[in-house]
Structure 1
Amino acid sequence: MNRKSLSRHPLSFALATALVLGVSAPAFAQDTAGSTQAAPQAEKATNLDTVTVTGSRIGRDVFNSVSPVQVITREETTLAGFQSTAGVLQSTAITAGSAQINNAYGGYVTNGGPGANTVGLRGLGPTRTLILLNGRRVSPAGSRGSVGATDLNVLPNSIVDRVEVLKDGASSVYGSDAVAGVINIITKKKIDGVTFEARQTATDGGGGEQRSYAIVAGKTGATGHISGSYEYYNRDGLSLNDRDWTRCNTDYRRPATGGAWGSSDTIDPLTGQPKCYPITGTGSNGVTINTIGTQSLTGVAAAGARGTSFNRWRPNSAVTTGLVGFEGVGGGQTTNSNIRDTFDPRTLNRSLISGAETHTGYLQGGLDLGVLGDAEAYFELLGSRRESEQTGYRQLSLDYLRGSPLIPANLASSNFGGGVGVRAFIGYGNDKSSQKVDFFKGTAGLRGHVSSTWDYDFSLSHARSDADYTMESFLTDRLNKSLNVVADGAGGFRCVDTSDGCVAAPRLTSAVIGGQLPRAWTDYVFVPVTGNTLYTETTANISFSGPLFSLPHGDVRGAVGAEWRRAKIDDTPSIHSINNNLYNLTSSTPTRGTDTVKEVFGELEFPILSGVTAAEELTFNVSGRWTDYDSYGSDQTYKLGGLWTPVSWVSFRASYGTSYRAPALFEQFLGATSGFLSNQIDPCNNWGNDPGTPKARNCASEGLAPDFQSTQSVSVIQAGGAESGLKAETSKNFTAGIVLQPEFSSAVGDISLAVDYFNIEVSNGVSRAGGANILDLCYNSPDFRAGGGFCRLVDARNPLNGALTVRDSYVNLATDKVRGLDFTLRYTRDLGPGSLRATAQVTRFLEQSNKLFQDDELIDYNGMLNTPDMSGTLDVVYSWNKWKFRYGMEWVNAMQSYDYYELDAATSVYKFDVPSYFLHSLSTEYKGDTWSVTAGVRNLRNEEPPMISSGAYNRVGNAPLYSGYDYVGRTYFVNLTKSF
């Protein structure tokens, strides 16, 4: 297979957008006094009150904003069956098929740690999408050192009124991170009374059920208001054993001569069934268990093995010749390593979906002071606790040293190498990891009138995320102590060093090799280890807005302000991780750092024409921001936009601007984290095959022989890039669109169409070059180590064994570019005794490209696996009296990666394509005077994810690891509310 390496994370380039037609439904927005109200439906924009919508700080009286904004109400999400704000934000309706970090990533190393849920627009990643709550930033939360994005788990659910999504760069308005867009979660205001809510889901296959219970209460008086909510949410975990399609992942390939997919999969000689590889989830040559390693010895071949010489063995008491008690399963020249054991039923206990429990409280209020410009003092308090957990599976490679009394007589002469007599590959069993994340955000502010026309708003907020993260691990020092034993005189063994309550390792037996380990010993060597992550952010913001002067067709309005933010991260891993004492796991050091920013911003809107021939409205908007970070200095961003409505039924809008993303604290200050790459990536392996090249000269200069072969893994130390002068990412954003609202008779109904083109290019993207890339660039450099460059990231070789160490820090490297079209079509009309509303949204990407280095060519991933070029949603609602009936459909287009890997789809032995994927849902709602009930089903057809071959993509079962697919299956839901 001609396999190319993907130079970017699959989650960083699956593009998303489905911009709303804000003109085709009731417009929701936040008024300049901070209250929330539904703007009345109207045929003319001039019938709307002045409101402030996401994407601008200026109150406006136009029905269309300069930039397209998508609005999703809480009522719509309830009818669609979403159980949380996180579920809404990660849905196809908002992400348009882009891959997101969700609860299926519990077994992977992700920013924010296991259990975190994030969202990124346009496929540009969560750190390039800004999350707001009532127009104010929601700071990052999560566990481990790489905390850099908002964890959606901290957001309230039951008190949310609507979500506004701006899929346009807006750093000039909101500052850093608003590169791909802005998501603003807006809560209900001025609530009177008490509402109880209960939600429950059930799945066809069991597992993954969700339930939540909430209370929302408030009181509004003549001079003030207060309201809040408390909610409890619980999600059951879902294991690999809970679904048929995850119980046996295979290579899922076919012979070169053609045939059915899976027909060339290895058949397990012991079962006669296709070989399952659930430990690694990647396919053949999975991690072996129930096996020992020795030097090459003559023995009896296991079923399916060939030859007479082996270095991997499986216990078999029937073998009485050769290596007595063992049969050969690997190491011979003609023996396929797939003969080895890789399957243990306990591997199916691994988490497919993480279990979680959250408690969320939210309180808000305001009091009219009657002074300071008829000011209102307001506050918001948000607190949450998330407890999540994952189940994994561990293999234990246990090294019995030569001469150890724990080695039986028939293996006493074994010499595995490096002083090891026998290495036992043991299926240890399941392990647990868990996270407890406490999040708090408090805001206090004052808003009022500077004059009869100008308003002010001052706020001060502080956020804190405090997370404990726990995992189970073997401790290297305890394993070593337990293996250093002597006879205890009673037929057993004791540790030579008995400190710390050392328990002797078990004697090497078939039972031990099979995973039957003494409880006292495992309790001693396998222990929970805990780290802590503290992230804080403090923000002060003041802004002023109002009319500046009058033009013939309206007032020029403006907004100015300033903001100060300070963020701090303090991640302290377990002391065992710091001391490199986690057996066969990476080590990590603390991540600690702070950054402060000062900003000044301004915005102007010019009503050039209004109510004249060929210009029902012509408005221009300009905004700018000056930023000064302690970490890298100052920067400026700007945005220009315009809206032209030549006649009442058509509008044109366009904007161009720059945005930026300051490096996240973890990208600047990540503590050194160790990892390893295969010795096969050493550039000097067999350098004599490339005579006369810079690589050959460089390898020779280190005294390496032409046939040099590295026998040592390459150490890779990942770290933050503050010391190397890490700068901010910059981007250019262009959008242009047309909105059509033709007027038809009531017999035809109302039809609205919006089409928007977008083009975003990110430069100086913050990324790590990768250990393999750094080595390649260093050893192929004519200047080699004398010239600095990437060789400055490669330590001198170890003089004893020639081992390499690479330091892979965050640097400004990458370029990302996305282009595409958003289509939104909405149709409404009276039908029979009720009314019909249908909305279709489609995103068509024209380009989703990336390059890591400046001299590289852009690689377009558009349409490849996990990166759909098209996606869409359909929402049809019929309302009649107190009833609503809904049909919903979510669609992700077919994808393939044959072209990228230079394969012929007709003859390829690898299946690297998936068909279009559709999810259907049905629901109904009944609203009484003080109560309501909503019930329905999601994934009506119980659609399973499609399957691909192993070899290039992470998989779940044989399905791609991709958030656009439903892993849970058909789900029934019911939602009950009662108000008093």
Structure 2
Amino acid sequence: MFKPTLKPIALAVFSLTLANHAAAQQTAADNNKPATSAETQTTTPQKLDTVVVTSGSRIKRDAFSSPAPIQIIKNEDAALAGFTSTAQVLQSTSVTGGAGQINNAFGGYVTDGGPGANTVGLRGFAPTRSLVLLNGRRMSPSGTRGSVGAADLNTLPNSIVDSIEVLKDGASSIYGSDAVAGVINIITKKNLTGIRLDGSLSQTEHGGGNAYNFSIAGGVVNDHSRFLASYNFSENTAMTLGQREWTRCNTDYLRTSANGVVGAWGSGDFVDPLTGKPKCYPITGTGSNGVTINTLGTASATGVGAAGSVGTSFNRWRPNSAVTTGLAGWEGVGGGSNNLNVRDTFDPRAMNNTVMSPVRNHNLYAQGAMDVPALGGDTEAYWELLFNRRESSQVGFRQLSLDYAKGSPLIPANLQFSTFLPAGGSLMTNGLATGVRGFIGAGNSYSSQEVDFTRVVAGVRGAMMFNWDYDVSVQHAESKGSYTFDGFRTDRLSQSMNVVANGNSFACANTANGCVAAPALTSAVIGGQLPAAWLGFVYDNFTGSTKYKESIVSASATGKIFKLPYGDVKGAVGAEFRKMSIDDTPSVDQQTANIYNFTSSTPTRGSDQAFDVFGEIEVPLLKNVTLAKDLTLNGSVRRADYKSYGADSTYKIGALWAPTSWVSLRGTNGTSYRAPALFEQFVGATTGFLNQSGDPCNTPTAGTTRAANCASEGLSPTFNQTQSITSITKGGRESGLAAETSKNSSWGIILQPALPTGFGDVSIAVDRFDVKVDNGVSRIATGSILALCYDDPAFRTGGGYCNLITRNATTNALTVNNSYINLSTDVVRGYDYNIRYTNDVGVGKLRVNLSATEYHSQASKVFPTDPLIQNNGRVGIPRWSGALDVNYTVKGWTAYYGMEWVGATSSYEYYQRQATSAASAALYNPDTSIYQMRTPDYFLHSASVKYSDSVGKWSATFGVRNLADKTPPMISQGYANRVGNAPLYSGYDYLGRRFFMNFSKTF
């Protein structure tokens, strides 16, 4: 399924996403040798510094002869754009084509890899459908909690990266499972000599979100061996809700609309009677009817209403010592026909909530190679070692629903009348009915993660007979993580709430464990003033551990098969064995559901293994003849046998035709597959809780299908849920989870016309891509399941989504089963456009790169009988994105300008298509709707200047990202995940204007 977002970009790419003719030719010229496209294991052993190009092939050839679309990013260009890590580069618009990525802004959300992990997915697909390589070999998954399935970009050795090569085409027949949407190969420097120091900092104008990097690297190269090692320390500091104006007060962001006349955005927001300003909802960010604090829940009673309330009957109250009639000491803020937004929803401590997670990384990397003459054939032994420690953390805000049992002596006399919930309705009352509930702001909560990732590679490569080369390698990677968070222990809450009176004080009925009695219900307690001794008894830290292991043995050989009139037929063959295991062990209290109002999880444990064999052939049909400067065919096939689901085969056919020296046509067609990730197969049953505001039957719009369906369950038109929504997730192994299969095709044209003397060089590439995934492994968002069920005219009689939902007949609480299944179809189609222009201008050299991606379709469906649901262009899923880079170099100086663009988006059309009545369709008319569900074109500008002293061997770069201090666009609550009032989407810059500096010195 599609996932929102990414980080802005402005990197100067060598790209021609389809051809890369100019880039590859320049690379070859600079190195005085042809660039090759083989993976590391198939490079010529005699040349230790062979350039690796990910071109979707294991056969050695020039990069610009690849049938597949390739993008090349040089590390120097990324630094000019102000990127502080490889993760930021890979998550940028020019690489991902506007697709949303998981970055440090997702610390408060449940994501694969756990909080603090950064991942990348191509073509709008999840990161498990894009394969990340380091020097041509898999980067194993890393992270915390049970859902570890993709490489964490934090583990990459930033300081030693030379270039990044992105294959935007399915390539399972070459690289195996996961290469559905494409392959990213991070290439490290090979021939570093001496010692190099690098440092950088990025400082935001408004505080928080700063980045610091320091690295030292050194290497030795001689005729028969090489060695290189590096250490890199990087830190990204936290950014909180309180540090940006647009995150300090997230509102409904609605407008008034009546008789075709609409007001300004925000005019429809609920105005807080206490402040006279629009209501803020920072605790959960959900907007209207958000989580309440400083509020008491009771059975309905007569009393004095607070400012903004109506009537005299209430079931929600706020402390007010001035009230002496009705319910003395309390004023009504909810119940009956009252607007729930009268309740308190703001606590200043919520401003400490993390927007961007702080992350520290310590990275050690080393590699080496040595000639082994004793083995003959110019044999070379090589190795790599990578170790990374990631430390990340998040701050949140916790609400405590404190339930006092009916008749408890902790309840004051004037509240003893109340029965808030029936017997068994609360975990805290020891089976008794709940008399009253305190909705208490319990202050900030804290979570942290520490992940150690180790990767070791060792291999031998050399020449065989008949001019063939071989490569045999062994790789082992381990991720060991721990994750800690704090919360209330359910058993101790229950124990402390069961008290007996002891004069004017209270004691626990069960004094075991040093029990401290809960505080008596007072206005101070409702206001969040909780006794320290009691908190020390009921509050605790909980730690779980996650281990992921992967071992790989691979062998390949490549060379010439026979000769044809127009060149050599080349081939490659190989085999690979992989073994993977996962072991996530949550804390005992999380396993036993003993953390109050928090997700419960059982261990995730399982393993899988695969044995693959593959082959590839390349046939030169014509060369340097009329209408065929080059005509080459390429084909590959792979057979994979997985212990989990059995065997499958994939293939790919590609062709390159250059009718003239300035026109090239190329294309590919094939299939790919993705074996279910271990967490998708084995993730332990996990129970999570969503806010009660997500119940689709909360005051549904009259006359709609939803209203009728809610009424059929006996719910009133003014129903408001009081119970959290339970969402249950578990692995799909027992239900026969199968592998995904996909069909991939791409074709493109590359134009490189010869311009008149003095007009420079230009290259233009247009790339068509088409990916269709069947049997896609995924989960449906719980909110989507609820909406699709309750908006279905067939409702409970039609099966489908409603089969996944139950509603408790007594409490009306919802439970949603949301486990991993083989969904039916995901489809992505579109175009990549790239223009590269270079010319000598004045005394310097000008280089311009322009890239854009246009999606024609981003669609999916869950069940085979469902229609495809078109997501293209929705908020967080833009149709268009692009990047412009301009470099001007003169002597040692380089000036840079970058522009990043995310196209306008709108969700109105999507919801109109889903509408089940004229009334609901009218609600989503963009001209009159009260909801802001679209964003304008979004542009970011950056600039920098670099000076390099070749004599002193140092360089320095100074620049500014987000020159105009552009903030993200605003949308209304309820239709997309938000940060403040902005969409949760990585393409928008949350940090604001920032100044950066990079310095490098070689000794």
TM > 0.5 fold call: yes
Is the contact between residue 362 and residue 390 of structure 2 (CA under 8 Å) also seen in structure 1? yes
Is the contact between residue 679 and residue 712 of structure 1 (CA under 8 Å) also seen in structure 2? no
Q: 1: distance between equivalents of 2:441 and 2:53? A: 60
1:487 to 489, 501, 511: 501
Matches within 5 A, 1:404-803: 404-418=408-422, 419-451=433-465, 453-489=467-503, 491-675=504-688, 715-768=726-779, 773=785
How far 1:927 moved relative to its partner?
0.5
Is the contact between residue 41 and residue 556 of structure 2 (CA under 8 Å) also seen in structure 1? no
1:966 to 949, 967, 989: 989
2:378 corresponds to 1:374: yes
2:928 corresponds to 1:907: yes
Bigger mean CA deviation after superposition, 428-437 or 804-813: 804-813
How far 1:814 moved relative to its partner?
3.1
How far 1:901 moved relative to its partner?
1.7
2:273 corresponds to 1:272: no
Match of 2:926, SS state, is: coil
Q: 2: distance between equivalents of 1:753 and 1:115? A: 39
Q: 1: distance between equivalents of 2:759 and 2:803? A: 70
What residue is the counterpart of 1:282 in the other structure? 286
How far 1:116 moved relative to its partner?
0.5
How far 1:316 moved relative to its partner?
0.5
**Deviation per CA, 1:897-949, whole angstroms, max 9, x where unpaired?**
11112221111111111110000000011111211101100000000001011
How far 1:767 moved relative to its partner?
2.1
**Deviation per CA, 1:692-748, whole angstroms, max 9, x where unpaired?**
xxx99xx99xxx999999998775431111111111111111101011111123311
2:360 to 353, 357, 362: 357
User: What amino acid is the match of 1:506?
Assistant: P
What residue is the counterpart of 1:42 in the other structure? none
What residue is the counterpart of 2:31 in the other structure? none
RMSD value over aligned CA atoms? 3.2
Is the contact between residue 391 and residue 451 of structure 2 (CA under 8 Å) also seen in structure 1? yes
Match of 1:723, SS state, is: coil
**Deviation per CA, 1:123-166, whole angstroms, max 9, x where unpaired?**
01101000000000001111100111111000010100000000
User: What amino acid is the match of 1:517?
Assistant: L
What residue is the counterpart of 1:315 in the other structure? 319
How far 1:235 moved relative to its partner?
0.9
Match of 2:756, SS state, is: coil
Q: 2: distance between equivalents of 1:551 and 1:227? A: 42
Summarize the Cα distance change of 1:666–1:260 in structure 2 as closer, same or farther, 3 Å threshold.
same
How far 1:259 moved relative to its partner?
1.1
How far 1:500 moved relative to its partner?
1.6
Runs of 4+ in 1 over 4 A off after TM superposition: 7-12, 14-18, 28-38, 48-52, 676-683, 704-716, 769-785, 787-795, 797-807
How far 1:809 moved relative to its partner?
2.9
User: What amino acid is the match of 2:843?
Assistant: P
How far 1:354 moved relative to its partner?
0.3
Is the contact between residue 731 and residue 819 of structure 2 (CA under 8 Å) also seen in structure 1? yes
How far 1:768 moved relative to its partner?
3.0
Q: 1: distance between equivalents of 2:778 and 2:441? A: 36
Q: Matched residue pairs, number?
A: 949
What residue is the counterpart of 2:27 in the other structure? 27
What residue is the counterpart of 1:338 in the other structure? 341
2:813 corresponds to 1:813: no
Q: 1: distance between equivalents of 2:808 and 2:50? A: 72
Is the contact between residue 9 and residue 93 of structure 2 (CA under 8 Å) also seen in structure 1? no
2:898 corresponds to 1:888: yes
What residue is the counterpart of 1:43 in the other structure? none
**Deviation per CA, 1:409-434, whole angstroms, max 9, x where unpaired?**
33233322321122111111101010
Q: 2: distance between equivalents of 1:908 and 1:800? A: 36
**Deviation per CA, 1:200-249, whole angstroms, max 9, x where unpaired?**
11111011101010001000112100001101011110001001111101
Q: 1: distance between equivalents of 2:107 and 2:693? A: 29
User: What amino acid is the match of 2:621?
Assistant: I
Is the contact between residue 484 and residue 542 of structure 2 (CA under 8 Å) also seen in structure 1? yes
Is the contact between residue 22 and residue 64 of structure 1 (CA under 8 Å) also seen in structure 2? no
Match of 2:284, SS state, is: coil
How far 1:512 moved relative to its partner?
1.0
How far 1:493 moved relative to its partner?
2.1
Match of 2:820, SS state, is: strand
User: What amino acid is the match of 1:914?
Assistant: T
Is the contact between residue 449 and residue 455 of structure 1 (CA under 8 Å) also seen in structure 2? yes
Q: 2: distance between equivalents of 1:861 and 1:847? A: 8
2:847 corresponds to 1:840: no
Matches within 5 A, 1:92-491: 92-257=93-258, 258-333=262-337, 335-370=338-373, 371-418=375-422, 419-451=433-465, 453-489=467-503, 491=504
What stretches of structure 2 of length at least 5 have no aligned partner? 29-34, 423-432, 913-923
| Normalised TM-score (structure 2) | 0.90
How far 1:633 moved relative to its partner?
0.2
Q: 1: distance between equivalents of 2:40 and 2:610? A: 26
User: What amino acid is the match of 2:827?
Assistant: K
Is the contact between residue 54 and residue 184 of structure 1 (CA under 8 Å) also seen in structure 2? no
Is the contact between residue 138 and residue 150 of structure 1 (CA under 8 Å) also seen in structure 2? yes
Q: 2: distance between equivalents of 1:363 and 1:36? A: 20
Identity %: 55
What residue is the counterpart of 1:873 in the other structure? 883
| Normalised TM-score (structure 1) | 0.92
How far 1:61 moved relative to its partner?
3.7
How far 1:8 moved relative to its partner?
6.0
Q: 1: distance between equivalents of 2:960 and 2:9? A: 28
Is the contact between residue 389 and residue 432 of structure 1 (CA under 8 Å) also seen in structure 2? yes
**Deviation per CA, 1:420-460, whole angstroms, max 9, x where unpaired?**
12211111110101000110000000000112510000110
What residue is the counterpart of 1:852 in the other structure? 862
Match of 1:343, SS state, is: coil
Summarize the Cα distance change of 1:964–1:715 in structure 2 as closer, same or farther, 3 Å threshold.
closer
Summarize the Cα distance change of 1:888–1:637 in structure 2 as closer, same or farther, 3 Å threshold.
same
How far 1:801 moved relative to its partner?
7.9
**Deviation per CA, 1:668-689, whole angstroms, max 9, x where unpaired?**
0110112457699799x99xx9
What stretches of structure 1 of length at least 5 have no aligned partner? 1-6, 39-47
Match of 1:142, SS state, is: coil
Q: 1: distance between equivalents of 2:704 and 2:946? A: 71
Q: 1: distance between equivalents of 2:802 and 2:298? A: 38
Match of 1:901, SS state, is: helix
Summarize the Cα distance change of 1:305–1:672 in structure 2 as closer, same or farther, 3 Å threshold.
same
2:986 corresponds to 1:976: no
Summarize the Cα distance change of 1:196–1:337 in structure 2 as closer, same or farther, 3 Å threshold.
same
Summarize the Cα distance change of 1:412–1:383 in structure 2 as closer, same or farther, 3 Å threshold.
same
Q: 1: distance between equivalents of 2:364 and 2:9? A: 33
Summarize the Cα distance change of 1:910–1:500 in structure 2 as closer, same or farther, 3 Å threshold.
same
2:936 corresponds to 1:932: no
Is the contact between residue 865 and residue 895 of structure 1 (CA under 8 Å) also seen in structure 2? yes
Match of 2:544, SS state, is: strand
